[in-house]
């Protein structure tokens, strides 16, 4: 099993580290355009192997030659947000970067499953799918897991309980119009609405939508990377182990939820072939309208591109 991580910034390097420590592959290849960065970080990871006890070979490169024949590729390449920027502000610059990445992956790893992390997430996943020409089940994006993790973490803080006992679902695009679903959220099986009032739930929903911006505001010179990397690795593990996890991912819709020709966050079954099934939840009229609005926001950004 060979996994390549494109982009050796904070998200990419942390993803490579977590992949190695979980011993999910024989080799993890870290690629970046900046000379020395992927080589140095990969060597550092390999030198930690004797201490951590993993045998995953870590290599770094400025070329895509070393990625040839990858089984899974995680795309993190692109500019990170700065204070005052929205994810959509990265659209033009990151489209050019992701287009180049997708062209290289198409030729070097034609059978790979691709997981996109670059922002704006849903649009960059669409770009990757369009440029590679791969089946849509092999190209999907990390967003819903991250957004759901943030939602769960804030609920845990509010209730003073373990995050492990909270089950939640966040749909829609990875942006301000994402759709957390309190109706499908439980704490040890107890519906969330029975444990906190509507105003508190709404405050948590808003903090979830602002979760990335909150971190950007603190960091000032970058954006989140621990949680995004953890979410991406959870997806990789589901594919490698073929364990049919049901996870919220940015998937290409072809009629599901009444939406077509758009990537947006929905619950999906992940296995060795990638997205093996998209689950359609029974949404209320209000939830469906919110999801449609979120998908329209993604489509409006896709329409700005010349693909």
**Domain positions in the chain:** 2-141, 144-302
pLDDT reading at 87 higher than 90:
no
Residues 6+ apart with CB under 8 A from 191: 183, 185
The residues annotated as belonging to the active site are 174
Distance CA 219, CA 201 (A): 26
Closest CA to 280 of 303, 256, 248: 256
Distance CA 108, CA 117 (A): 20
In which band, very low, low, confident or very high, does the pLDDT at 92 lie, cut at 50, 70 and 90? confident
pLDDT of residue 41: 98
What Cα–Cα distance (Å) separates residue 54 from each residue in 28, 114, 138? 12, 24, 28
Its pTM stands at: 0.95
In which band, very low, low, confident or very high, does the pLDDT at 74 lie, cut at 50, 70 and 90? very high
pLDDT of residue 63: 97
What share of the chain in percent tops pLDDT 70? Answer: 99
pLDDT of residue 307: 78
pLDDT of residue 93: 87
pLDDT reading at 155 higher than 70:
yes
User: Mean pLDDT over residues 116-134, rounded?
Assistant: 97
Average predicted confidence (pLDDT) for the chain: 96
Distance CA 90, CA 46 (A): 33
pLDDT of residue 83: 79
| Max CA pair span of the chain | 55
Which overall architecture, per CATH, does domain 2-141 show? 3-Layer(aba) Sandwich (3.40)
pLDDT reading at 22 higher than 90:
yes
What are the tens digits of pLDDT across the range 166-200? 999 999 999 889 999 999 999 999 999 999 999 99
Say how many CA atoms lie within 13 Å of 199 toward its Cβ: 0
Which overall architecture, per CATH, does domain 144-302 show? Alpha-Beta Complex (3.90)
pLDDT reading at 85 higher than 80:
no
What Cα–Cα distance (Å) separates residue 260 from each residue in 143, 174, 251, 257, 283? 19, 17, 11, 9, 17
Name residue, tokens 């099986």. Answer: 189
pLDDT reading at 117 higher than 80:
yes
Distance CA 286, CA 229 (A): 32
pLDDT reading at 161 higher than 70:
yes
Q: Which residue has the higher pLDDT, 85 or 221?
A: 221
Of 3-17, 82-96, 245-259, give the lowest mean pLDDT range: 82-96
pLDDT of residue 90: 80
């Amino acid at each position: 099993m060979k996994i390549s991580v494109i982009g050796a910034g904070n998200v990419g390097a942390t993803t490579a580290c977590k992949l190695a420590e979980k011993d999910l592959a024989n080799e993890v290849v870290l690629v970046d355009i900046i000379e020395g960065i992927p080589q140095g970080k990969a060597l550092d990871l390999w030198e930690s192997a004797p201490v951590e006890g993993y045998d995953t070979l870590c290599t770094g490169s400025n070329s895509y030659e070393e990625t040839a024949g990858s089984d899974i590729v995680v795309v993190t390449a692109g500019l990170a947000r700065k204070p005052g920027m929205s994810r959509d502000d990265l659209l033009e610059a990151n489209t050019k970067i992701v287009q180049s990445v997708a062209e290289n992956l198409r030729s070097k790893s034609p059978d790979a499953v691709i997981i996109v992390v670059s922002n704006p997430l849903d649009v960059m996943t669409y770009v990757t799918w369009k440029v590679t020409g791969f089946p849509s089940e092999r190209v999907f994006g990390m967003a819903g897991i991250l957004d759901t993790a943030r939602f769960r973490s804030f609920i845990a803080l509010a209730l003073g309980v373990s995050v492990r006992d909270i089950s939640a679902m966040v749909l829609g695009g990875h942006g301000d119009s994402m759709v957390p679903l309190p109706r499908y959220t439980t704490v040890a099986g107890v519906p969330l609405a029975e444990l906190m009032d509507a105003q508190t739930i709404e405050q948590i929903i808003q903090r979830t939508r602002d979760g990335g911006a909150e971190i950007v505001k603190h960091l000032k010179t970058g954006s989140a990377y621990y949680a995004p990397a953890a979410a991406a690795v959870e997806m990789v593990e589901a594919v490698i182990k073929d364990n049919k996890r049901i996870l919220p991912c940015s998937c290409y819709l072809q009629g599901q939820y009444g939406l077509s020709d758009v990537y947006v966050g929905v619950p999906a079954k992940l296995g060795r072939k990638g997205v093996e099934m998209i689950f359609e939840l029974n949404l209320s009229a209000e939830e469906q309208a919110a999801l449609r609005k979120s998908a329209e926001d993604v489509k409006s950004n896709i329409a700005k591109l010349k693909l």
